[in-house]
């Protein structure tokens, strides 16, 4: 028996065989072709000696071969380690060393057999339907999140988790087979990959752009494919505004839905979206890779309380506000947002990382919030110290370690508001006074150590690094000042 997700995707393939399923660049495939190519990709994986319980790592890009391999692995019960193609060498070493995949796609690492998407050719292979029995509780995907400590955490999502999440989302947004989505989000994150799954199980068409960097190209895709929806994070909206003003409003009549990922979004931006898209379902979610899209709200329906993060996405999901001992709190009392439901991961890849991650079946998000009198949830603050740079997560300790490795005695890194108002946050580093290196030296030194977006936008000298009695850096004390 196939996984629930693949059962649903194959149902779409059989129901809409001649309809376009996927577009990437100049390539376009129908649902019939999608099924054939997924089966062929499965034949390829088998021919490489891979089978149920094995693990492969995929660099998640907009290539169609990525999509075929991703689903083919699910059909065979092979676990997908989904990797960001922009991961630095240190992170890649950690992820690959931990998960030990038997084959790599789209990137190379040490002597593990690797395949570039450009050189793959599944077409001569047999397109027969695999007969492997896949249990819905088996691990489907492993996605790494940025941990505060700098060590990424592998989130193990079961076949049931990823299917349930897609059903929850489609139920809220109202996706259908008439949808055409233009997707510029990266596929390596839960959000973008989720959109791919949602569209394909609904029988819609998805156009993979890979990025929103080229707004002209994005608008052109909306026009060419007569798109009915797209998904973005708040920083993408700020970027669209900067590079095109409000001209996206001309597409409002054709846009049925917009899904927005949760991150701080100014109230004025939400109001502006409401006025630019008066009849579009503008759905903002709250969630984490571990508990994908736990809550949703729709802008027009919540026009009087636009700052809510909404309510549980479906009746299969429950959200409680809990105190420090895991006791549920009454309305209006602030506590930790905890999520239980069909899409919540069961475990991190390293079981020891589960310590403190759950209260029973409720995943502890690390975010503080409360339930209002109106039964809506409100986010108060994120107690985790991750810096969110335009949707990309940066671990402060990773940046600090890189700075210290250059020869600085000590430093502390926090997220501060991006002065351009586009990225949300940017990293700022406080360097302990007395360093022989100038800020410019540090900035140059970091260029070979960190991805560009992780390099602090601001530096400042500090007399003493604020620490707790046990020596833990108190980053939030600087962030709030």
Partner 1 sequence: MEKEILEIISSSLGVDESVLTMDLSIGDIPEWNSIGNLAMIAALEEKLDIEIPMEDLFELTDIRSIISEVKKLKADA
Q: Interface with partner 1 by CB under 8 A: which residues? A: 85-86, 210-217, 235-236, 239, 242-245, 247, 389-390, 392, 420, 422-423, 447, 452-453
The distance from CA 333 to its chain's CA centroid, rounded to whole angstroms, is 29
**In the block, residue with structure tokens 């049931």:** 160
Q: How far is the CB of 102 from partner 1 (least distance, A)?
A: 26
Tell me how far apart the alpha carbons of residues 477 and 480 are, in angstroms, rounded to a whole number.
Answer: 6
Q: Which is nearer to partner 1, 216 or 472 (CB)?
A: 216
Query: In this structure, what DSSP letter does residue 251 have?
Result: G
Tell me how far apart the alpha carbons of residues 336 and 324 are, in angstroms, rounded to a whole number.
Answer: 8
Tell me how far apart the alpha carbons of residues 56 and 102 are, in angstroms, rounded to a whole number.
Answer: 6
Q: Which is nearer to partner 1, 108 or 447 (CB)?
A: 447
Q: Which is nearer to partner 1, 105 or 286 (CB)?
A: 105
Q: Are 12 and 2 in contact (CB under 8 A)?
A: no
Q: How far is the CB of 292 from partner 1 (least distance, A)?
A: 23
Report the half-sphere exposure of 385 (CA within 13 A, side-chain side). 23
Q: Which is nearer to partner 1, 377 or 450 (CB)?
A: 450
Q: How far is the CB of 399 from partner 1 (least distance, A)?
A: 15
Residues facing 364 on adjacent strands: 338
Q: How far is the CB of 325 from partner 1 (least distance, A)?
A: 41
Tell me how far apart the alpha carbons of residues 304 and 271 are, in angstroms, rounded to a whole number.
Answer: 10
Q: Which is nearer to partner 1, 106 or 203 (CB)?
A: 106
Q: Which is nearer to partner 1, 69 or 450 (CB)?
A: 450
Torsion 211-222-424-395 (CA) sign? negative
> What is each CA distance from 60 to 28, 35, 81, 104, 106, in whole angstroms?
18, 20, 9, 11, 8
Tell me how far apart the alpha carbons of residues 188 and 38 are, in angstroms, rounded to a whole number.
Answer: 19
Q: Which is nearer to partner 1, 244 or 347 (CB)?
A: 244
Q: How many CB atoms lie within 10 A of CB 114?
A: 16
Q: How far is the CB of 392 from partner 1 (least distance, A)?
A: 8
Q: Are 59 and 67 in contact (CB under 8 A)?
A: no
Contacts 24+ apart (CB under 8 A), 344-347: 344/161, 344/290, 344/291, 344/294, 345/155, 345/156, 345/157, 345/158, 345/161, 345/289, 345/290, 345/291, 346/137, 346/156, 346/158, 346/161, 347/156
Q: How far is the CB of 236 from partner 1 (least distance, A)?
A: 7
Which residues contact residue 198 at a Cβ distance below 8 angstroms, ignoring those fewer than 6 apart?
A: 166, 169, 170, 173, 175
Q: Which is nearer to partner 1, 87 or 289 (CB)?
A: 87
Q: How far is the CB of 85 from partner 1 (least distance, A)?
A: 7
Q: Which is nearer to partner 1, 11 or 250 (CB)?
A: 250
Q: How far is the CB of 14 from partner 1 (least distance, A)?
A: 35
Q: Which is nearer to partner 1, 110 or 247 (CB)?
A: 247
Q: How far is the CB of 453 from partner 1 (least distance, A)?
A: 5
Helices 267-276 & 234-244 angle (0-180, nearest 10): 60
Nearest to 129 by CA among 237, 38, 252, 16: 38
Q: How far is the CB of 402 from partner 1 (least distance, A)?
A: 15
């Amino acid at each position: 028996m196939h996984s629930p997700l693949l059962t649903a995707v194959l149902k779409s393939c059989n129901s809409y065989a001649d309809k376009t399923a996927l577009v990437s660049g100049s390539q376009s495939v129908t649902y019939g072709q999608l099924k054939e190519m997924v089966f062929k990709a499965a034949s390829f994986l088998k021919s490489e000696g891979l089978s149920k319980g094995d693990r492969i790592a995929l660099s998640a890009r907009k290539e169609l071969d990525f999509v075929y391999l991703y689903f083919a692995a699910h059909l065979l019960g092979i676990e997908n380690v989904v990797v960001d193609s922009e991961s630095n060498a240190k992170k890649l070493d950690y992820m690959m060393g931990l998960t030990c995949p038997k084959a790599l796609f789209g990137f190379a690492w040490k002597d593990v057999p690797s395949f570039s998407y450009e050189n793959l050719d599944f077409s001569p292979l047999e397109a027969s339907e695999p007969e492997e029995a896949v249990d819905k509780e088996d691990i489907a995907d492993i996605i790494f999140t940025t941990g505060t400590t700098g060590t990424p955490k592998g989130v193990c999502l079961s076949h049931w988790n990823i299917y349930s999440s897609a059903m929850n989302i489609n139920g809220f947004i109202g996706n259908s087979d008439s949808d055409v989505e233009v997707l510029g989000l990266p596929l390596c994150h839960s959000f973008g990959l989720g959109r791919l799954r949602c569209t394909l199980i609904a029988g819609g068409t998805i156009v993979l752009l890979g990025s929103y960097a080229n707004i002209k190209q994005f608008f052109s895709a909306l026009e060419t494919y007569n798109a009915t929806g797209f998904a973005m994070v708040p920083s993408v909206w700020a970027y669209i505004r900067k590079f095109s003003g409000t001209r996206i409003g001309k597409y409002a009549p054709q846009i049925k839905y917009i899904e927005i990922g949760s991150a701080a979004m100014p109230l004025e931006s939400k109001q502006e979206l409401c006025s630019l898209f008066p009849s579009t379902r503008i759905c903002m979610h709250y969630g984490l890779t571990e508990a994908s899209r736990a809550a949703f709200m729709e802008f027009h329906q919540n026009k009087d309380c636009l700052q809510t993060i909404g309510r549980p996405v479906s009746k299969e999901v429950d959200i409680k506000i809990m105190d420090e001992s895991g006791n549920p709190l009454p309305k209006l009392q602030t506590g930790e947002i905890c999520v239980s439901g069909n899409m919540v991961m069961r475990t991190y890849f390293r079981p020891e990382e589960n310590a403190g991650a759950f209260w029973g079946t409720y995943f502890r998000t690390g975010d503080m919030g409360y339930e209002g009198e109106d039964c809506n949830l409100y986010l108060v603050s994120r107690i985790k110290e991750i810096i969110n740079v335009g949707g990309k997560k940066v671990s402060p300790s990773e940046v600090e370690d890189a700075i210290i490795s250059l020869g600085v005695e000590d430093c502390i890194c926090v997220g501060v508001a991006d002065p351009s108002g586009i990225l949300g946050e940017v990293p700022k580093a406080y360097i302990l006074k007395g360093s022989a290196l100038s800020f410019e030296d540090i900035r140059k030194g970091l260029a070979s150590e960190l991805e560009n977006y992780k390099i602090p936008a601001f530096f400042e000298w500090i007399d003493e690094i604020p620490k707790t009695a046990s020596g833990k850096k108190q980053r939030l004390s600087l962030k709030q000042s």
